[in-house]
Amino acid sequence: QNATRRSPTDWHPGKTPASAPVTLGGASPAPAMRDEQLKMMSLLVFTFQNAAFVLLMRWSKVLDTHYNSTVAVFLTEVLKLPLSVLLLMYEKRSVSEACATLNREILGAPMDTLKISVPALLYTVQNNCLFIGLSHLDAAVAHVTYQTKILFTALFSIALLGKQLGLSQWAGLSSLVLGVISVQGILSKLLEKYAAEPARGSGMAGGGGGSPP
C-alpha cells in the first residue's frame, strides 16, 4: 500500500520498463520505401513489356513468317494459364489452397465466371485485331494509336461508373490525344492546309488587282 505508482515514462538509462509505450513516430520507413520501389519497378517492367509486345509483333510480321495470328493468340493465352497458376500457388503458399481458390472462384461462382467471359472474349478479339493492324501499319503508329484504349477507358469510367478525374489525369489524356494526332499526321496536314490558304488568297488578290491588257 505504501508503494508509489510510477508512470511508464519513469525509467533509468539502460533499463526499459515492460509497460513503456511504443511510439510509432520512430518507426522505420523501410517497408514504405520498399513498396514505392516495387511500384516503380512494376511500372517500368509493364512499360517495357507493353512496348516490346507491339514491336516484336510488328517485327514478326515484317519477317514474312506467315504464321496464323489466331494460333499465336491461342498459344499466348495457353502459356498465361500455367504461369498464373504458379503465381497463385506462390501467393497462397500451398498447392491445395490454390486449387481450392480456383474451385471457389471459378466453379463455385458460375455467374461471375460468365460475366468475366465477356471481357475475355473481347480481349481475344482485340489481340486478333492488333495482329491484323500491325500487318498494315508502322510499329510507332500502331503502338501510339493502340494507347487510345486509355482514353476510351477513362471516358467509359466517367459515363458508366461516375468516376471523377483530376486535373493531372485530364492533362495526361490530352497529351495522349495530341500524341495520337501527331503520329497519325493529322496535325501536320492541318497545319499545311492552314498555311496554304493565306498564300492562295494572296495569289488570288494579286491576280485580280491587275489592269486588263
Q: 127 with 76: CB under 8 angstroms? A: yes
Query: pLDDT band at 198, cuts 50/70/90?
Result: low
All residues at 6 or more sequence positions from 21 whose CB lies less than 8 Å from its CB, including other chains: 8, 9
Side chain identity at 209, as an amino acid letter?
A: G
Model-wide pTM > 0.75: no
Q: Which residue has the cell 522505420?
A: 28
Query: pLDDT band at 56, cuts 50/70/90?
Result: confident
5 DSSP 8-state letter? P
Side chain identity at 162, as an amino acid letter?
A: G
